[in-house]
Chains A and B, each alone.
Chain A
Amino acid sequence: MGQANALPETTAGRNRERPQLRERVMKIWRRNKLLWLLFLPCLLYYLIFKYLPMFGLVITFKDYNLFKGIWASSWVGFKYYRMFLENPDFLLLMKNTFLLGLYRLVFGFPAPILLAILLNEVRKASFKRLVQTVSYLPHFISNVIVASMVIMFLSPTGGLINNLLGGLGIGPVNFMNEPGFFRIIYVLSEIWQHIGWETIIYLAALTAIDPQLYEAAEMDGAGRLRRIWHITLPGISPAIVITLILNIGQVLEIGFEKVFLMQNPAIYETADIISTYVYRVGMQQGNFSYGASIDLFMGVISLVFIYSANWISRRISETSLW
């Protein structure tokens, strides 16, 4: 960066300047060309698969037609944005997306902190390792399998959970067809899948705590809970804040795959979120312009979210992502 900007701005005579400038450019080129060549595939990837689609967003202002292509399709201004805002489902979709994200934040965020603290209290290293190894496992299981397991275990005919409930005399509940259950089922499955893996950031922070602090506190007569409160929690609080900002910023960014796999039309009332709606409208019904408009609309709101979360955190705790 520095070298690129260091090109001379002052002139030392027209005849001298040109060759000098060229020489400098050539020098920078010679020094960097191989590194730039190494970077080229990566650059092409980002330009083609990340930046080109951003320019493709122009279709949100057009009546995009697959056969006409982007350029020949006619301009329609804000038609599709207006269409979305006037859509009777608009508020419901916003609410579903926001609530699902909020539930995940409220229940999913503290869970790994609690597990990390419990793990930190284990004296026996082999037991700690066992719990860690096992609890990381579901993070590597595909969403298809997790969704399949959830749906099958909750099935009213022969599903594991209904068998247990049946034993208690509670008769089969069709969990996946009751809109009221979707959010809690989704959030529980998220916790099951990621609780272990998400402890890693806290366990990493815990290794930085000086063990002498615990010894000193023990000498002063502090019990387990007091030590957790006064040493462990302050020790991991920067990690907690960073994770919290990230999670608040991502409240609206709910993974498409699992919601899509777990939902069915009977529970769209709670289970239909923006990304699954975009998929249905855009990809399945072929209304590309409309789908992309909704996606962009949410992308902008999401950006505002992460920006505000970062701003607030910088104000109150001096910890921020950037």
Chain B
Amino acid sequence: MKFRINLFSIINGIALLMVVAATLYPFVHMLAVSLSSDSYVIQNTVSIWPKGFNLDMYKVVLEDSKIWAAYKNTIIYTFTGTLISLLITSTGAYALSRSDMALRKSLTMLIVVTMFFSGGMIPTFLVVRSLNLVDTVWGMVLPGAVSTWNLILMRTFFAGIPKELEESGRMDGLNDIGIFARIIVPLSKASFATIALFYAVSMWNNFLGPLLYLRSSELFPLQVLLRNMVLAGTSSSGDVTGIGGDNQIVEESLKYATIMVSTLPILAVYPFIQKYFVQGAMIGAVKG
């Protein structure tokens, strides 16, 4: 009996370690290849540890002004977008969380319907276009400003705040906006952080938005630049060929370096902010 239990634990442990390995291996491999010298990359001998360590690829990537411009665009879109999304979502969610607001049910219905039916890609594009938002920062930020899922999540957060606190605010002469700004917001810092992170990540990773609403390359965010460099195969600059003998292979480590450079921010902050995401998802899972 004892033996069987241990056997189960061992198999279980091995299975889970394989999940960990399968998740991390691609990143480790890309990092190793991007840090290795060409000769080893050409021989395909690099696995998880760089051979012939050098930073040449990173020099090429970081000297490319297009990368920096795209980085800047992504940061601008992410920052502005998160701020606007948070503002619209939190105020809307608070109003919907108040059971004494007239028309609450109809307005909630109005929002939930959009989860099941939408106009689709083309009519939405035509609206964005007719508002002259194509090729502007606002075109990146506004069309996806509110995620219905996040709105409902936030409404659930707010609905959990004891009503007595609102009452005491009212006694102190605060109106509804005052109650929201002075009582609800300070009490919900953690939920604001969670929702802000959800918005920031989806903005940072957004590809469809810029694909549809951006035309000029100087406005492209990182994801579009990455796609053009890595998938469409147009390498970043002319000097790539000067580095190694076999273009195909060297391009590969260059591409890995580009991927690493653009993923690093998420990989670096992820361990620290992970718990906020999970909290948010938990509340969504339990109450949603």
Contacts and interface: CB of A to CB of B under 8 A. Distances in A.
B102 A4 contact: yes
Interface in B90-107: 91-96, 98, 100-107
Interface in B1-55: 1, 4-5, 8-9, 12-13, 15-16, 19-20, 22-24, 26, 29-30, 41-42, 44
Contacts of A51: 114
Q: Is the interface of B mostly helix, strand, loop or mixed?
A: helix
Interface footprint category on B: 35 or more
A205 B286 CA distance: 8
A288 B126 contact: yes
A261 B227 contact: yes
A151 interface: yes
19 contacts: A41-B87, A45-B88, A46-B110, A46-B111, A48-B127, A53-B123, A70-B126, A135-B20, A140-B205, A140-B277, A142-B207, A148-B230, A157-B248, A204-B286, A224-B8, A257-B207, A283-B212, A295-B121, A299-B117
Given A39-B95, A256-B208, A278 B88 contact: no
A186 B102 CA distance: 47
Given A56-B119, A224-B5, A118 B126 contact: no
Interface stretch (B60-68, B174-182, B187-195): B174-182
A38 B259 contact: no
Given A149-B26, A299-B117, A121 B175 contact: no
Interface string A38-57: 11011101101111111111
Contact of B176 (A38, A52, A115): A38
Contacts of A200: 278, 281-282, 285
Contacts of B103: 1, 4, 32, 36
Contacts of B175: 34
Interface string B108-122: 001100101111111
Contact of A122 (B1, B16, B98, B102): B16
A322 to B, nearest CB: 9
Given A141-B263, A149-B30, A134 B102 contact: no
B245 interface: no
Interface of A: 1, 3-4, 28, 31-32, 34-39, 41-43, 45-46, 48-57, 59, 70, 115, 118-119, 121-123, 127, 130-138, 140-145, 147-149, 151-153, 155, 157-158, 160, 163, 166, 192, 195-197, 200-201, 204-205, 223-225, 239, 256-257, 261, 275, 278-279, 282-283, 288, 291-292, 295-296, 299, 303, 306
B35 to A, nearest CB: 16
B71 to A, nearest CB: 14
B227 A144 contact: yes
Contact of B282 (A37, A56, A195, A204): A204
A57 to B, nearest CB: 6
Nearest to A159: B252
Given A141-B263, A142-B204, A145-B259, A45 B270 contact: no
Contacts of B136: none
A291 B125 CA distance: 12
The 9 closest A-B pairs by CB, nearest first: A53-B119, A42-B92, A56-B123, A142-B205, A295-B120, A53-B123, A39-B95, A34-B176, A201-B285
Given A118-B15, A135-B23, A141 B123 contact: no
Nearest to B176: A34
Contacts of A163: 44
A195 B208 CA distance: 23
A149 to B, nearest CB: 5
Given A118-B16, A148-B230, A38 B91 contact: yes
Contacts of A291: 121-122
B226 interface: yes
Interface in B115-164: 116-128, 131, 142-143, 145-146, 151
B180 A53 contact: no
A292 B123 contact: yes
Nearest to B267: A137
A196 to B, nearest CB: 7
B122 A38 contact: no
Contacts of B92: 38-39, 41-43, 45
A122 B95 contact: no
